Amino acid sequence: MAYAGYLIKVGTYTIPLSIIRAETYSAYESTTDLDSGVDGNGELHRNALEHKGYKAEFETVPMLTNTEFGNFMSTIKAQYTNVPEKKAPITLYVPEYDDYVQVNAYEPDIKPVMYYAGADKVVYEQIRLAFIGY
Model confidence pLDDT, tens digit, residues 66-104: 999 999 999 999 999 999 999 999 999 999 999 999 999
Mean pLDDT for 41-54 is: 70
Model confidence pLDDT, tens digit, residues 111-126: 999 999 999 999 999 9
Q: Residue 134 — very low, low, confident or very high, per pLDDT cuts 50/70/90?
A: confident
pTM of the model: 0.84
* Domain locations along the chain: 8-133
26: phi then psi, degrees, rounded to nearest 5: -145, 130
